[in-house]
Structure 1
Amino acid sequence: MAALFQGIKGIIYYLDDVLISGRTEEEHNTRLVKVLDIILENGLKANMNKRKNKRFEWGEAQERSFEKLKIKMVEKPILNCFNEKLDIILTVDASNEGIGGVLLQMTDDVEKPILFLSRRFSSTEKNYSTIEREALAVKFGLEKCKEYLIGRRFILYTDHKPLVDLFKKENKELMMSPRLQRWLILGNFDFEIRFRAGKQNCLPDILSRLFKKDSANKDTVINSLEYIEEEEKLNSKVIRALKIDKREEPITFWWPNMIDGVVKFINSCDTCQRCNTRFDKTTNELQSIPARTKVWSQIGVNMCTLTEREDGYKYIAVAVDYFGKYVVAMPLKDKTAKSISKFLYLLLFTYGKAKIQINDQGREFVNEVSTNYHKLMGTMQRVTSAYHPELGRSSRKRI
């Protein structure tokens, strides 16, 4: 369209629409003829249904709109026009829901907004760590404002101090995860990153939280556990919902910082602390293992998990003699009953038969293969009580 109607004054075109104007009816008709000639010469067609023959009338509604427009034209706008001569500031922030940013310029020692930015996190991005979300906010802000920023020195503010410290360190690329390296190796931008406390970083913070669930559409909004305690009716309603009372229709509610609030409530609840089984369990007096007077008469067997290795070994089986404290260890690629039985036969053929073997209740020790082995060898197998690792301390200390 631009190439076809180039040089004709008084026309505005957008996609397939053309608006023709003139100061007089004669001038308008002259321009209209020129446009129609070009359409015919290029094999185009005009849609006559788009012509508007309705007479335009200036009434009270038009007058109000005109007066309002005049007022708006002389009022100071919220957004300022970009000025290449002024200092540039980009401030960004990330919440659990999204990203916010503001492009600013210093005018009369006051930060004036040029552009507001925000977007919601994807389901994947919500799982990013805090520093990754804050870094993504930086990346988002730079990409959206690149026309204003490339080729100019500017200041970038974030309220996440670890990100600022990371940028200031030498060889920072070596300290970043691959994801951060892709985002923050920013050769096209010339900026100084600075820390700005959250209280002073309000605009991007608000923009990043625009996507929170609308509490006005929820049955109940819970700001804190203290609030629940003060409101008996609300408390009972929430409890019924949490217990999923099937006799009633479950309510929905939004509870900001729910995990922190629940933890704080439980830790400060006297009844919770008294009834917690961790603080109310009773233990019988520990029975000492009778001292042995003969080597290899009683042994303790246990397992140790290794870090990942290239040779495929993942575990170490350990046996300790309760008399001489002698330790035998063997690397294993798995902890199946078959592998453990090989270890036990190694002990048998190397050191002889033990009268008593002590181990925990792991399935690698308590199984049909192990039972058959001990019956065949005449060894008494003793297992420690569940959740009492102190009973296998002798073999664990060696691990």
Structure 2
Amino acid sequence: RLRSVLQAIKTAGLTLKPSKCRFAYGELKFLGHVVSAQGVSPDPAKTSAVAEFPKPSDKKAVRRFLGLCAYYRRFVRDFAQISAPLTHLTRDDVQFHWGKEQEQAFDELKRRLRSPPILGHFDQSADTEIHTDASNTGLGAVLVQRQEGAERVIAYASRALSKAEQNYSTTDKECLAVVWAITKFRPYLYGIPFRVVTDHHALCWLANLKDPSGRLARWSLRLQEFDVTIVHKSGRKHNDADCLSRAPVEPPISGADDDDDTRFLGAVNATDMRALQRDDTELRSVIDHLEGRGGSVPRVLSRDLPSFVLRRGVLFRKNFGTSENPWLLGVPASLREEIFQACHDDPTAGHLGYSRTLARIRDKYYWPKLPKTVHLYTRSCHECQRRKKAPTRPAGFLQPISAPTTPFQQIGMDLLGPFPPSTTGNRWIIVATDYLTRYAETKALPSGTAVEVAKFFVESILLRHGAPEVLITDRGSSFLAQLTQEILRLSHTSHRRTTAYHPQTNGLTERLNKTIADMISMYVDVEHKTWDEVLPYITFAYNTAAQETTGFTPFELVHGRKVTTMLDAMLPHEPVDDGCDDAHAVSQRAEEARQLARLRIHDQQRVDARRYNLRRRDVHFQPGDRVWVWTPIRRRGLSEKLLKRYFGPYKIIRRLGDLNYEVLPDGTRPSARRQPRPEVVHVVRLKPYYER
């Protein structure tokens, strides 16, 4: 036995300090326990501290006493039932009062820990049984073995039922006790035959259900990886687990099994796992090395060789993480897809990202290059790609629209609304702004039709300021209508349309919309019926207010003079002789102001771009690349927060400048008779498509 122990330590790559080693001892003290050939029991030197513990005088002392006792609670049957009066005292909503019940519990725990039982050592060659039972409040289990003709207790376990579990039927509770107990004692049971003894006769056929469904089906699947036989024992002969179920030690498990359909990894018993591991080339090389058959081991595994061990013929790797599992199962390539589905795709895994999926897998499993394969799997998950935004900065640097050289050479236009119907029947505001002077033209409209838009363009733009060279609008139907397009053609105005779902292209007009709405809200009546009456006044206020960017008022840059208000006419003031009495001087001063405004706009755009680009990435795609396209959608009766955000995959057809791309649905043939028209998409709406 000593040779076997030392060989196992050597295989694991561990070293021992001779001064801390003890050889040929019949009994040893270890971590507060006495370990001998007969079994494990509490160290009397430690339990004497319990026997000498003074009667608690406050909640803090009660908690200390219970913490000291709980370390040895696996040696005390009915621990939770005995300690219940003391546990009740530790609640925040209970006033401390030491009564008869507390005194009895205090003395009984002391008595039991003065003469605790000796728990046996587990022998994997001995007959093994689990005795389980369920009550209305908890589950109980006892792991026992037949050793030298006598029944030895190896471990006790119990836990309380959650509120949901308390509503289970009797059969479901008893079945839950079996599944939970086997999971609790799994390190002892995996790979060996054993029996489950229960006082509920209906469970004898659980592992052999022909057409299982629901919760029982899922539990039946969990048992298939074990070599288990379920036998019935009457309640009168089943007292050990029965009393534990009525005095649970551990709290209920959060997120207990419910009625939702859940996928489970196909059950693989130890025999199948041994065969599957040996079918995997990489894992087989490690197994051959451990079994002394030699052979080469891949470099990716050779550095970890001291960490591998064979347990009952199954390959495990030592767990160096913080998990409670000391050994990680070596997963062959044939089972990794199922592991991924269970740890990422399944509802119980939640389609979480790379880090959490990796942590979930690393908690129990190992295979070569695990982080890389998890990264590739989570990155290429179709559902995650459709729903989640890229965990990086948005794409696309800012490209400001250069300020024109003359007023109303380039304008932006947009519809603002709909608003509540005014007393005159208006519901919309059409807004136009000049990209040099920031001068605004507005008008209240009963509708946002192409006729209304075209009429505004003619009357408020063409007849007042002349034909602009460039008009920037969104892709609203009123701006794309044939009537509007014909007027723009006749006036030789180039129409630039923003890309879909990217109004920032016409950002100057969008910002003006917000300003106008804010200003109207200050003066509108409580019923919101007079908003159109104040529109001309707030437009005048906007045009005669100095712009922070240019330093001038829009009125001054358009008309070459400052506006004269009613306040100016009412109050006396000294006339100012600025030397600009003739028309030429006035015109020259206006032109100088416009050039200065243009320079200031340019300087401000550089500052804005520098600040904006700190939060952006310069992303480029090439023709033929496959991408996802972000498209916000709304559907009646569905939550917008739960809808998919991305659609595709699409294929890049052509690059239009630095920010825009033409895309078509992937798979569209160029020779198709009814080929869809390519869609122009801003780069901020695109993200790469990763194929699995």
TM-score (norm 1): 0.34
